[in-house]
Structure 1
Amino acid sequence: MKKNIGVVMGGYSSEYKISLKSGDVVCQHLDPEKYNIYRIHILKDKWVHVMENGTETPINKGNFTIEVEGKTISFDCIFNAIHGTPGEDGYLQGYLELLGIPHTSCPMYQAGLTFNKRDCLAALKPFGIKCATSYYINKGQAINGEEIIKKVGLPCFVKANKAGSSFGISKVNSEDQLLPAIENSFKEDDEIIIESFLDGTEVSVGVITYNGEVTVLPITEIVSENDFFDYEAKYQGKSQEITPARISEEMTNKVTEVAKKVYTTLKMKGFSRSEYIFVDGEPYLLEVNTIPGMTAESILPQQAAKAGISLSELFDNAIEEALK
Structure 2
Amino acid sequence: MKTKVALITGGYTGEAEVSFKSAAFVHSQLDQERYAIYPITISADAWFHVNDAGIKSLVNRENFSLTIDDHLVTFDIAFIIIHGTPGEDGRLQGYFDMIGLPYTSCNALTSALTMNKGYTKAILADIADLFVAKSVLLFANDRATGADRVAAALKLPYFVKPNAGGSSIGMTKVKELAELAPALDKAFDAENTGSQVLIEEFVTGREFSQGIFRNAAGELVVLPATEVKTTREFFDFEAKYIPGLTEEITPADLTAEQQERASRILQDIYVRLNCRGMVRVDFFLEQESDRFYFIEINTIPGQTPQSFIPQQVRASGMKEGDFYAALIEAALQP
Same fold, TM-score > 0.5, yes or no:
yes
**Residue number in structure 2 paired with 1:233:** 239
SS at match of 1:38: strand
What is residue 107 of structure 2 aligned with on the other side? 107
Which letter does structure 1 place at the counterpart of 2:270? Y
Decide which moves more: 202-211 or 14-23: 202-211
State the AA in 2 paired with 1:268.
C
Residue 273 (structure 1) aligned with residue 273 (structure 2): no
The one of 291, 303, 308 equivalent to 1:299 is 308
Compute the displacement of 1:52 (Å). 2.2
CA distance in 1, matches of 2:148, 2:108: 38
Q: Shift of residue 98 of structure 1?
A: 0.9
1:260 matched residue in structure 2: 267
Aligned counterparts of 1:126 and 1:283: Cα–Cα separation in 2? 13
SS at match of 1:198: coil
User: Which is worse superposed, 208-217 or 299-308?
Assistant: 208-217
1:53 positional shift: 3.1
| SS of structure 2 residue aligned to 1:8 | strand
Counterpart secondary structure, 2:42: strand
Q: Is the 8 A contact 2:227 2:248 kept in 1?
A: yes
Structure-2 separation of matches of 1:42 and 1:28: 20
**2: CA distance between counterparts of 1:71 and 1:144?**
57
Check the 8 A contact 2:88/2:299 in 1, yes or no. Answer: yes
The CA deviation at 1:309 is 1.2
Partner of 1:217: 223
Q: Write the letter of the residue equivalent to 1:236.
A: I
Q: Equivalents in 1 of 2:209, 2:32: separation in Å?
A: 32
Q: Matched residues in 2 for 1:78 and 1:227: separation?
A: 38
TM-aligned CA distance change 1:167 to 1:246, over 3 Å: same
**Per-residue Cα deviation, 1:156-200 (whole angstroms, up to 9, x for no partner):** 111111111111111111111111111111122211100110000
Of all paired residues, the percent bearing the same amino acid is 37
Contact 1:221 1:241 in 2 (8 A): yes
Q: Which residue number in structure 2 is paired with residue 85 of structure 1?
A: 85
Whichever residue aligns with residue 161 of structure 1, its letter is N
Equivalent position SS for 2:209: strand
Secondary structure at the counterpart of residue 257 of structure 1: helix
CA distance in structure 2 between the aligned counterparts of 1:235 and 1:3, rounded to whole angstroms:
33
Conservation of the 8 A alpha-carbon contact between 2:77 and 2:103? yes
1:165 paired residue number: 167
What's the offset of the Cα at 1:54? 2.9
Counterpart secondary structure, 2:126: helix
Pairwise CA distance, 1:211: 4.0
Q: Unaligned 5+ residue runs, structure 1?
A: none
TM-score, normalised by the number of residues in structure 1:
0.97
Aligned equivalents of 1:147, 1:78: Cα separation in 2: 44
Give the structure-2-normalised TM-score.
0.94
Distance in 1 separating the partners of 2:141 and 2:39: 40
- CA-CA distance at 1:68 after TM superposition: 0.9
- Kept in 2, the 8 Å contact 1:205–1:256? The answer is no
* DSSP 3-state at the match of 1:64: coil
CA contact (8 A) 2:216 2:327 kept: no
Q: Aligned partners of 1:244, 1:27: CA distance in 2, in Å? A: 25
Separation in 2, partners of 1:102, 1:260: 23
CA distance in 2, matches of 1:192, 1:291: 21
Per-residue deviation, 1:257: 1.2
**Structure 1 residue 150: Cα displacement:** 3.0
1:108-257 paired onto structure 2 within 5 Å: 108-128=108-128, 129-141=130-142, 142-188=144-190, 189=193, 190-212=195-217, 213-237=219-243, 238-257=245-264
How far the C-alpha of 1:148 sits from its partner, in A, is 0.6
Q: For 1:195, what is the secondary structure of its paired residue?
A: strand
SS of the residue corresponding to residue 37 of structure 2 reads strand
d(CA) in 1 for partners of 2:216, 2:37: 22
SS of the aligned residue for 2:166 comes to: coil
Cα 1:144–1:82 change in 2 (3 A) is closer
Distance in 1 of aligned mates of 2:253 and 2:152: 34
Distance 1:24 1:55 in 2: 18
The answer as to whether partners of 2:138 and 2:146 remain within 8 angstroms in 1 is no
Matched, 1:14 2:21: no
The code of the aligned residue for 1:96 comes to F
Q: State the superposition RMSD in angstroms.
A: 1.2
Q: CA deviation at 1:132?
A: 0.6
Give unmatched runs, 5+ long, in structure 2: none
